[in-house]
Amino acid sequence: MRVNNLLSPRRPRKTARSHEGEIITMAPDLMWGADGSKVFTVKEGWSWVFAAVDHFNAECGGMVPGWP
- pLDDT (tens digit per residue) in 19-52: 677 777 899 889 888 888 888 889 888 888 888 8
Cα 16 from Cα 24, distance rounded (Å): 21
pTM beyond cutoff 0.75 = no
Q: Is the pLDDT of residue 68 over 60?
A: no
Q: What percent of the chain has pLDDT over 70?
A: 72
- What's the whole-number average pLDDT of the chain? 79
Mean pLDDT value across residues 51-56: 87
Cα 52 from Cα 15, distance rounded (Å): 29
Cα 25 from Cα 56, distance rounded (Å): 5
